[in-house]
Amino acid sequence: MPRQVGARYACEKCGAQLVYEKPCPCPESMPHSEICCGEQMKLVQAGTPEKTKNS
């Protein structure tokens, strides 16, 4: 599934986040992976507060 501008993925192990600044031009049939710490990052739903080390 292509990624849209603003799509945010987070690593559950280290808390790193990836945000798409440009839309992904790949076709719907092409698989995608956002990997951090050896695992697939999780999609962060819109409106979900960002986690920080202090929270």
Angstrom distance (rounded) from CA 4 to CA 30? 14
Helices assigned H by DSSP within 1-55: none
Number of domains making up the chain: 1
Q: What is the pLDDT of residue 50?
A: 57
| Full residue range of the structural domain in which residue 23 is found | 8-44
Q: Which residues contact 14 (CB under 8 A, 6 or more apart)?
A: 36, 37
Given pLDDT bands bounded at 50, 70 and 90, which one contains residue 46? low
2, part of any domain: no
The share of the chain scoring above pLDDT 90, in percent, equals 60
What pTM does this model have? 0.74
